[in-house]
Amino acid sequence: MSTLHDLYATYGQSPWIDNLNRPSIRDGGLAGLVASGVRGVTSNPTIFEKAMTSSDAYDEQFSKLIESDTPEAAFWEMAIDDVKEACEILRSVHESSGGTDGFVSLEVSPALAGDTAATVKAARELHSRVVKPNLMVKIPATPAGVPAVKTMISEGRNINVTLIFSLSRYGEVIEAYLSGLEALRSAGGDVSTVHSVASFFVSRVDTEVDGRLQALGADVSLYGKAAVAQAKLAYELFQEKFSGPRWQALSDAGAHPQRPLWASTSTKNPDYPDLLYVDTLIGPDTVNTMPDATVAAFLDHGTTARTVDSGLEEAHSLLDALGGAGVDMQDVSSVLEQRGVSSFLDSWKALLGSLEAKAAAGGQTR
């Protein structure tokens, strides 16, 4: 049994991989990862931009699609085909877990991050086009995205809420999930069919906070600790919100908790341990989605132990100390949210530009 298997079997954490590309889907790479213990797949515009511009695996299909479709329409057709195939590879995991795992995530266009109605429409369309029980549509946790999450949950749809950077926004996401489930139940729907994860981005927090600490000339003992501390407090909030009378009423009706998902878990600072954002956040009812290199590192030398709810007092003290040093964590999260949306939008534009160029060249990558 691999360390990835141990994560799930012993500690209740589901390891997912943060990468989706056609070569891996079709050459057995993804199936091999599933055999090694990977239990789900996430994707985003940056991942698709890299996949579709660095490989000729999409050329044949793109050449046919572009005869009658726009480059953007062709992208969605190709992406949806990839997701459908990945869903089939993960189907056994989905079935054996009783529908809790084995999900493949596909994100709505990042151009819609500020438009609630358009996000709802796009999410519905993706669900209707993929038609797989283990699809999760990703919606960003922007001010416009959170209401869309509530609507989608109230319609009984599986949603991955992405780009969460703060405890306050995470609280809003949990509320959207709970109120969405309550609306679904009130309308006579079956809450037991709904699954959701809340993707809390981790490593980017340290990158931003460390930069601010350096600018402030703060004590170096505070470096590299904000991200894990905030994630631990997010798990504390998860435990608080998914307990008590309100949650019990939903749980009695068959509802599943919205699991925290640790995203952006590759280490950006080479001076930090390569598994800093994996080894420190292990615990039940959580997901960690890792890029390929981090999965490989964890299989090689990962440590399996329950860590996500240890050191909570220190985590609270650390955030207090950051505030005392002059770091405004609310501003940090606001900057990171804007940067995250912009980054995905840049990847989206680059992808469409590349596909337009490819169409002009007859549909070939090179």
> Of 138, 225, 241, 358, which residue is the catalytic one?
138
pTM greater than 0.85: yes
| Euclidean distance between CA atoms 68 and 77, whole angstroms | 12
How many separate domains does the chain show? 1
Would residue 366 count as lying in a domain?
A: no
% of the chain at pLDDT higher than 70 = 99
Would residue 303 count as lying in a domain?
A: yes
Q: How confident is the model at residue 366 (pLDDT cuts 50, 70, 90)?
A: very low
Would residue 179 count as lying in a domain?
A: yes
Question: What are 127-183's pLDDT values in tens digits?
Answer: 999 999 999 999 999 999 999 999 999 999 999 999 999 999 999 999 999 999 999
Would residue 315 count as lying in a domain?
A: yes
With 70 as the cut, is the pLDDT of residue 247 above it?
yes
% of the chain at pLDDT higher than 90 = 96
Q: Which of 52, 32, 134 has the alpha carbon at shortest distance from 92? A: 134
The pLDDT assigned to 54 comes to 86
The pLDDT assigned to 364 comes to 59
| Euclidean distance between CA atoms 30 and 23, whole angstroms | 9
Would residue 237 count as lying in a domain?
A: yes
The pLDDT assigned to 146 comes to 98
CATH code, 49: 3.20.20.70
Question: What are 260-318's pLDDT values in tens digits?
Answer: 999 999 999 999 999 999 999 999 999 999 999 999 999 999 999 999 999 999 999 99
Q: Under a CB-based contact definition with an 8 Å cutoff, are residues 11 and 282 in contact?
A: yes
Is there a catalytic annotation at residue 268?
no
Question: What are 58-79's pLDDT values in tens digits?
Answer: 999 999 999 999 999 999 999 9
Specify the length of the chain in residues.
366
What tokens were used for 110? 């990042």
Residues with Cβ < 8 Å from 245, sequence gap 6 or more? none
Would residue 80 count as lying in a domain?
A: yes
Q: Which residues pair with 160 in a beta bridge?
A: 138, 197
**Domain that includes residue 292, residue range:** 3-360
